[in-house]
Amino acid sequence: MVHNTKVSKRPRGRPQIRPDDETRQLILKAARQEFHASGYAGASMGRVAERAGVSTKTMYRLIPTKADLFRDVISARISRFILEMDEEHLDELPVDEALEHILTTFGTLTFDPDTVSSLRLVLAECDRFPEIATAFSELALKRTTQTMERWLRRQRDRGEIAIDDPATAVGMLRGMMVMEPQRAMMLGLSPPPDYAEIVKRARDCTRLFLDGCRQK
């Protein structure tokens, strides 16, 4: 009697390795959780690796220090905002629609609980760790400000609006859009606004701003 049983063969070569970019994303997600749970001082690179399901050797190869890890967490979050600020697309829109889109995107980023948690962490620990304040300023505040300022400058140069100082105007816009709701969130006085509330606030801020500076 002959048995014709097929034996499955092992694939040749090394097992497939997860790409570094994918591994990095797992690490950054785990790092956000660790920073929010333990703060900056209490965060452990070992626990981040454990949360991410990677070896500490792999994590240190991709992101060598805790300061680098914090910077990468902030940068990854702000990159989503930058992607939404496609300059060619914005320049195709009427000024009011473009500004409403910018403010809606900025509000969505700012009111996100992860962003608020990161800001709380920075404010609580920046005296001991000034590097986290520097990272937040350079990667979050400056990048969003510069993106918005470039758009305002282009509209001014095209004669769409009349403003003397785009940088000052950005500060006014940012404060008008987010300051009061964000402060209430940080004090635990109110929950994050939902998307419909963010859109309405962006529309109201747009109308208020443009009615004050639009060319007659």
Count the Cβ atoms, other than its own, within 10 Å of residue 20: 11
Q: Which residue has the higher pLDDT, 3 or 66?
A: 66
pLDDT digits (tens, 9 = 90+) for 85-101: 888 888 889 999 999 99
Q: Which residues of 81-108 are buried (b: 16+ CB within 10 A; e: fewer)?
A: beebbeeeebeeeebbebbbbbbbbbbb
pLDDT digits (tens, 9 = 90+) for 158-184: 999 989 999 999 999 999 999 999 999
Nearest to 163 by CA among 172, 176, 153: 153
- What superfamily would CATH give domain 19-64? Homeodomain-like (1.10.10.60)
66-213 CATH: 1.10.357.10
Domain boundaries defined on the chain: 19-64, 66-213
Cα distances (angstroms) measured from residue 173 to each of 17, 103, 128, 130, 165: 46, 8, 31, 27, 12
